[in-house]
Structure 1
Amino acid sequence: MDHGFSVLFVCMGNICRSPTAEGVFRHLVRQAGLQDRIRIDSAGTHDYHVGAPPDERSCHHASLRGYDLADLRARQVKALDFERFDLICAMDWENLELLEDACPPRHRAKLKRLMEFAPQGLGEVVPDPYYGGEHGFEQVLDHVEAACAGLLQHVQRKLDLPPV
């Protein structure tokens, strides 16, 4: 089945920011009725947590806002991802740079920072909450929700669909 468009969210270990983005974007895509047209995944630039579920704190804070991350498992970015995905969204400059280093030149245009889709003024990156307190996980959700709303509009334009 042709999904029409595919998005990969990337952070360092794929246990905090990128699975949160995957869960939020899946929720928005389902609400828009586009789950059959948009393929969504997440991965990490590092192999620290391959096979592990998202961080408990990420799951807890996401669940408070109605997002379920329980079925997600960490994986590392693979060379094939640069072929398979239409858009690859890094959570910060460091992970974007790591992706650029690994990405074949013909696919570089697919690489973006997720926050490029957020309203101005929120910041350029989704801050890493791993070593911080509870507030960091709420801040990740604030950033990701704002950026994913803009991302959905971007994807709808790419699919030539009216905004919902």
Structure 2
Amino acid sequence: MKTRTAILFVCMGNICRSPTAEGVFRARAQAAGLDLDIDSAGTHAYHIGNPPDARSTRHAAARGYDLSIQRARKVAAEDFERFDYLLAMDHDNLEILLRACPAQHRHKVRLFMEFASHSDSEVVPDPYYGGANGFDLVLDYIEDAADGLLAVLRKGN
């Protein structure tokens, strides 16, 4: 019997946005005293087994988040059963998740930025091909949405 709320953060390759979200959310959940099952995955198998992008790791570390133990993996069919929330970083990955998701679990699949309250973007943009400021923007958005998700979880929704 499952007792902990389980959250999966999802982007394309699981090396920039979703591992950053996992690391930020894990740190904030622990600081809030919440015992959660937190993971991340990609919709594509480009980087399976690889650590997060060095730029993501470096920018996260500058804000006190450790991504070093994470390794990329692809979303698996059993994730739709295991997780209570499957949170996509953008519309493309949301659509991929929805296409793969069994009907009885579709209510679990959402955009992560739905939980943000201070950012005006619906998505966490992919910083992979951009400059350093893109990784800081990703962290800003993720911290905002993480705080919103924590507030929802504290209320028991």
Q: Cα gap change, 1:85/1:68 in structure 2, threshold over 3 Å: closer, same or farther?
A: same
- The residue type paired with residue 30 of structure 2 is R
How far apart are the structure 1 equivalents of 2:140 and 2:132? 13
Aligned to 1:5: 5
Q: State whether structure 2 residue 31 is matched by structure 1 residue 31.
A: yes
Residue 129 of structure 1, aligned match among 109, 127, 134: 127
Tell me which moved more, 11-20 or 25-34.
25-34
Return closer, same or farther for 1:3/1:26 CA change in 2, 3 Å cut-off. farther
Give the CA deviation at 1:96: 0.0
Distance in 2 of aligned mates of 1:79 and 1:121? 31
How many angstroms does 1:137 deviate by? 0.2
Would you say the 8 A contact 1:126–1:144 is kept in 2?
A: yes
Between the aligned partners of 1:115 and 1:9, the Cα distance in structure 2 is 11
- Per the alignment, residue 155 of structure 2 pairs with 157
Show the counterpart of 1:88. 86
What is the deviation of 1:120? 5.4
The answer to whether the aligner puts 1:117 opposite 2:115 as a matched pair is yes
Contact map agreement 1:122 1:143 (CA 8 A) in 2: no
Contiguous gaps of at least 5 residues in structure 2: none
1:44 paired residue number? 42
Counterpart AA for 1:27: A
Cα distance, 1:6 vs. partner?
0.6
Q: What is the alpha-carbon distance in structure 2 between the residues aligned to residue 94 and residue 79 of structure 1?
A: 18
Runs of 4+ residues deviating >4 angstroms? none
Report the counterpart of residue 74 of structure 1 in structure 2: 72
Alpha-carbon shift at residue 108 of structure 1 (Å): 0.3
Q: Is 1:3–1:38's contact at 8 Å kept on the other side of the alignment?
A: no
The residue aligned with 1:162 is none
Instruction: Number of aligned residue pairs: give it.
Output: 157
Q: What's the CA shift for 1:156?
A: 1.6
